[in-house]
Chains A and B, each alone.
Chain A
Amino acid sequence: MENIINAQQLVFAYSGEKEAALKGVSVSVSKGEMVAVLGHNGSGKSTFAKHLNAILLPSGGVCYVGGINTADEDKLLDLRRTAGMVFQNPDNQIVATIVEEDVAFGLENLGIPPEEIRERVDSALKDVGMYKFRLHAPHQLSGGQKQRIAIAGIIAMRPQLIILDEPTAMLDPRGRAEVIETITRLNRELGMTVILITHYMDEAAACDRIIVMDDGRLLIDDTPKKVFSNVALLKRVGLDVPQATEIVYELKKCGIDLPDDIITDEECVEALASLLSKKGEVQA
């Protein structure tokens, strides 16, 4: 598979700070992957994400996204239409006073002909399930709906990669579910590469791959099952594990025999049920 992100030994320090925020991060992501980036505050995960569409430029190392060197200023616009970014606060990324006009904003900036903008805006709104709200004002919508509008504004530009920087952090549980469902669908159905920065372990568990960052370095880069089987290491860097994994982990500490790679509620229920029925057979 072709790599869409190819980052080599990225180093970056914010001005005025002695310690580097990124200390040599190398990551490659292939097309169509859905990758979660985990890490506690200050681990460098947001800083890393900001390198992917040249909001920040590395002071060491190189970063290629969609074949473009992010340090190449002449290709900045191309880069930004290749890699779209959604931020935490939906209120602060909506520009226009009408939903459909906001979705059109990026396309208008790119100088796309009006008829095509119309077409792309409609299809982007349908992709995020907000088509019937196209004439609403943003302030009439819920947080989750606003965030989906922000996502529509990005996917209307037809990027190959969409980076979401804690898109659910300010949302209520229902809004969170809406947004995650939308992102997952974009990845599964439209084959969009997704980089999801998050604090929620259950969101990370639903991805294909998890990158754990700590202190500006890449700590783990593996499948969710492998990552969450290392509960002790995750706890050491200040991260949680999904609830199901936590239960299994505690039970195993008490000497109960359960598989290592449980990350979803369903798997946990299944494992416990089969364990109980086995026990029943032994007793009988």
Chain B
Amino acid sequence: MLKDITIGQYFPGESAIHRLDPRMKLIMTTIYIVALFVANNVGGLLVCVAIGLAGYLISGISLSMVKKSLKPIMPIIIFTAVLNMIFVDGKPIFEFWIIKATYEGLQLAVLMVIRIVCLIAGSSLLTYTTSPIALTDAVERLFDPLKKFNMPVHELAMMMTIALRFIPTLIEETDKIMSAQKARGADMESGTIIDRARALIPILIPLFVSSFRRADELALAMECRCYHGGEGRTRMKQLKYTGNDFVALAVLVMVLALVIAMNLILPSMY
């Protein structure tokens, strides 16, 4: 049952966006997020919405996926919108006791919601079209210069890789332990929340013990294969920017420029 869990939210594909260099996708996502926060009027935000939509169209990923990724943060979106409506001064829509909703607040709330939705949709597009392992690789190479400042970039990337590698193994193991405990009469499906949480203890403890054992063995195996940190390491797969990557980057830079232009032309809404 647990085996059906997929790692990350990657959807393999062959679209132009899938084939972009993961480093470039990371940079593009960053520019997109900056553009979203720079935009201070409807015009700028519409540009962002448009490019986001275009991204989804090109990648071939259904827009209903956006709905799915928005679900967990729906409360935050609603909360932000309500707060904006209430606490911004201006022409009142209605007044009730000490609560006063204003037109200006409503405007700002809409802006805020668009911004958050675009933020989630944009960063989701990155994880939908890039495998976790490519993403890890990209992070390692992009932040490579930080090694000069003693940032453990390689080590972090290696930890990510190993974590990704062991998720399915540990899921399988959890499944086995659960079956073993059920066979011994453990009851995991009834009782209060506290009872159920308590029922997890006999599953988590063996899982932890075995993870430590695995870690020990893995470390030994890595040492036997001459692992000695990131120094002097080469990589089989080399990442290379292609023409498409630069076109994509140019598009994103244009979006940012357009957003800034809109800020200058149109009145700010703050």
Contacts and interface: CB of A to CB of B under 8 A. Distances in A.
Interface of A: 53, 55, 77, 80-81, 84-85, 87, 89, 91-98, 100-101, 104-114, 117-118, 121, 137-139, 150, 153-154, 157
B71 interface: no
A101 B227 CA distance: 14
B80 interface: no
B236 A101 contact: yes
Interface of B: 132-133, 161-162, 164-165, 168-169, 172, 214, 217-218, 220-228, 232-238
Pick the 10 closest A-B CB pairs, nearest first: A93-B221, A106-B225, A92-B217, A139-B168, A104-B236, A117-B236, A109-B226, A111-B232, A85-B224, A97-B165
Contact of A157 (B162, B169, B225): B225
Most buried by B among A53, A91, A109, A117: A109
A280 B220 CA distance: 60
Contact of B221 (A92, A100, A101, A113): A92
B230 to A, nearest CB: 10
Contact of B161 (A53, A97, A104): A97
Given A87-B217, A139-B172, A111 B225 contact: no
B233 A95 contact: no
Nearest to A103: B236
A111 B236 CA distance: 10
Nearest to B216: A92
Main secondary structure of the interface of A (DSSP, over half): helix
A63 to B, nearest CB: 16
A117 B235 CA distance: 8
12 contacts: A87-B221, A91-B214, A92-B217, A92-B218, A93-B217, A94-B165, A95-B218, A97-B132, A97-B133, A109-B227, A114-B238, A117-B234
Contacts of A121: 236
Contacts of A77: 226, 228
Contact of A108 (B214, B217, B235): B235
A68 to B, nearest CB: 14
Given A87-B221, A95-B218, 19 more contacts: A55-B220, A77-B226, A80-B226, A84-B225, A89-B214, A89-B217, A91-B169, A94-B165, A95-B162, A101-B133, A101-B237, A105-B227, A106-B226, A112-B234, A113-B234, A114-B236, A114-B237, A121-B236, A139-B172
A182 B233 CA distance: 29
Contacts of B220: 55, 87
Nearest to A92: B217
B227 A111 contact: no
Contacts of A55: 220, 223-224
A81 B165 contact: no
Q: Which of B132, B164, B168, B236 is the most central at the interface, judged by chain A CB atoms within 10 Å of its CB? A: B236
Nearest to A89: B217
A81 B226 CA distance: 7
Contact of B234 (A53, A93, A97, A108): A108
Contacts of A117: 234, 236
Contacts of A100: 236
Given A92-B218, A107-B236, A138 B225 contact: no
Nearest to A88: B217
Nearest to A53: B224
B135 to A, nearest CB: 12
A166 to B, nearest CB: 13
A87 B224 CA distance: 10
A91 to B, nearest CB: 5
Contacts of B168: 137, 139
A55 B226 CA distance: 12
A91 B133 CA distance: 18
B233 A109 contact: yes
Contact of A80 (B169, B217, B225, B236): B225
A85 to B, nearest CB: 5
Contacts of B132: 97
Nearest to B226: A109
B165 A114 contact: no
Contacts of B223: 55, 80
A120 B172 CA distance: 32
Contacts of B237: 101, 114
A113 to B, nearest CB: 6
B232 A93 contact: no
A95 B165 contact: yes
B222 A95 contact: yes
B226 A96 contact: no
A150 B223 CA distance: 14
A98 B235 CA distance: 14
Given A108-B233, A109-B226, A92 B161 contact: no
Contacts of B238: 114
A221 B224 CA distance: 27
Contact of B214 (A92, A96, A137, A150): A92
Contacts of A114: 234-238
- By CB atoms of chain A within 10 A, which of B172, B214, B221 has the most? B221
